[in-house]
Amino acid sequence: MTDLEKMGQNAQSAAFELGQLGTQKKNNALLNMANALVLNTKKIIDANKEDIANAKKNGIKEAMIDRLLLTPDRINDMSDGLRQVMDLPDPIGKIERGWETVTGLDITQERVPLGVIGMIYEARPNVTVDAAGLCFKAGNAVILRGGKEAINSNIILSETLRSALKDSGITPDAVQLIDDVSHETAQKMMELTDYIDVLIPRGSGKFIKMVVNKAKVPIIETGAGNCHIYVDKGADLEKALKIIINAKVQRPSVCNAAEKVVLHKDIANQFLPKLYSALRANNVEVRGDTLAKAIVPDIVPATDEDWGTEYDDYIIAIKIVDGIDDAIKHINKYNTKHSESIITENYSASRQFMKQIDAAVVYTNASTRFTDGQQFGFGAEIGISTQKLHARGPMGANELTTTKYLVQGDGQIRE
């Protein structure tokens, strides 16, 4: 038996144990995990400093280093996320529906854990904590495989969580980390169909596509984010400027950051120069189509490749369109089904956009940065699902469950 198969076997045993735990015991363990993170802040930051130093040495761009960075505030946020998960309703055992058949069978549909979840992700050490907490709340064991950029951070984070589980009288194998970051081991994990029930990838569009193409384990596909903000002719332009700057600049490396702005032609001459100045003041490179460049000559010409690119950086591209129909057509062609927003005071335009845009989350007059499990009230999130089967949008504990039917009879046989 290989090391990975042994981890899988341990995870299955842990999943069986977790499936029997009551809500109170799970919540006590989550509280211990949250407290342990804060108590181990210095150790976690020391390990993270090694990862940051290696990232800088390897020439990783600054926006991506921000994803990797852990600070006392971010560790407190991770701890608070676990406390919020603790306070959520326990999805396990929830009765979805029930009825009696004509033959007298009593049928109920009940929420149960998925079992063993595999998480494969890039340089986001917070995913280690979010995934562990949500999987645990939903009664699942988790096998984690983070990227090499965050390996030192992930090791200390997983050790901290495992120790807290052990202190809570629960098997630490509920949370396991693969510390071999080779591509070969990642490939073997993606083929571990005898042990892993579902695999959830998190990272760049390229990374997720690689996992989808190579995995044999069933996948819940999470979000690359080529997110758009459409500024309609009926927009409050001050509101639009504030929202776009927030959506692009606050954390440009995350999947819910805005990558494209689509402008109605009727407001482009008035709005684009102000938008360009504000973006450049925040060190954002602005690319645009020929119409945008005609209004602001300093705009960098956009290529066809730009429209489908998730930059994860201080770059944005601007498209000018004739109206809302063209905006919707353009966005649906190039988006990644993640998060899209319209800025308008026109109710009809808002409803048309909300109805016709194909994405997991669609906003009116709000930043795409709100697509987040914590912001949606789920505590943490395990990812933003951009597919349509099983789950869509921010995935909390409820999305990490499935159902089974419990049928109570009294000697019935089928005639």
* HEC readout, 294-340: HHCCCCEECCHHHHHCCCCCCEEEEEEECCHHHHHHHHHHHCCCCEE
Which of the pair, 171 or 222, is modelled with greater confidence? 171
CB contact at 8 A, 285 and 296: no
| Ramachandran sector of residue 240 (left: φ over 0; alpha: ψ -120 to 50; beta: rest) | alpha
* Better-scored residue on pLDDT, 311 or 254: 311
Distance CA 359, CA 253 (A): 20
**Mean pLDDT along residues 16-29:** 96
Give bridge partners of residue 34 from the DSSP assignment.
none
pLDDT band at 125 (very low <50, low <70, confident <90, very high): very high
What is the predicted pLDDT for the residue at 109?
A: 96
**413, pLDDT greater than 90:** no
Token readout for 227 is 């997110």
Lowest mean per-residue pLDDT among 37-51, 178-192, 197-211, 303-317: 197-211
**Cα–Cα distance between 78 and 153 in angstroms, integer?**
13
Q: Could you tell me the pLDDT band of residue 106, with boundaries at 50, 70 and 90?
A: very high
Single-letter residue type at 89: P
Query: Which one, of 131, 133, 137, 297, lies nearest residue 203 by Cα?
Result: 131
Read off the pLDDT band of 187 (50, 70, 90): very high
Residue of 385 and 299 predicted with greater confidence? 299
- The residue-averaged pLDDT of 29-34 equals 98
Mean pLDDT confidence for 313-326: 96
52 vs 151: CA distance, rounded Å: 11
Token couple for 192: 């571990």
208 pLDDT above the threshold of 90: no
Return the pLDDT at 274.
Answer: 97
- Predicted confidence at residue 255, as pLDDT, reads 85
pLDDT over threshold 70, residue 353: yes
The CATH H-level superfamily of 227-375 is: Aldehyde Dehydrogenase; Chain A, domain 2 (3.40.309.10)
> Does residue 329 have a pLDDT over 90?
yes
Q: In this model, does residue 286 exceed pLDDT 90?
A: yes
**Average per-residue pLDDT in the chain?**
93
Name 287's Cβ contacts closer than 8 Å, sequence gap at least 6: 299, 300, 301, 302, 306, 315, 316, 317, 318
Boundaries of every domain in the chain = 4-222+382-407, 227-375
pLDDT at residue 186 is higher than 70: yes
**For residues 194-206, average pLDDT:** 88
What the block records as the tokens of 177 is: 């980390």
Q: Name the percent of the chain lying above pLDDT 90.
A: 78
The secondary element (H helix, E strand) that includes residue 143 is strand 141-145
Q: Please, which pLDDT band fits residue 327 given cuts at 50, 70 and 90?
A: very high
Whether pLDDT at 391 is above 90: no
Q: What is the pLDDT of residue 390?
A: 75
Average pLDDT score over residue span 60-72? 86
Show Cβ contacts of residue 294 under 8 Å, excluding neighbours closer than 6 positions: none
Q: Tell whether the model's pLDDT for residue 379 goes beyond 70.
A: no
Q: Mean pLDDT across the stretch 131-143?
A: 96
- Tell me what the mean pLDDT of segment 229-257 comes to: 94
Which percentage of the chain shows pLDDT scores above 70?
99
What's the whole-number mean pLDDT along residues 156-185?
96
Burial class, 125, CB count within 10 angstroms (exposed 0-12 / middle 13-18 / buried 19+): buried
- Pairing status of strand 300-301 against strand 315-321: unpaired
CATH class of 4-222+382-407: alpha beta
State the CB neighbour count (10 A cutoff) for residue 39: 13
Q: What is the 3-state secondary structure (H, E, C) of 101-132?
A: CCCCCEEEEEEEECCEEEEEECCCHHHHHHHH
Using DSSP's 3-state secondary structure scheme, residue 343 falls into: strand
What pLDDT band is residue 180 in, cutting at 50, 70 and 90? very high
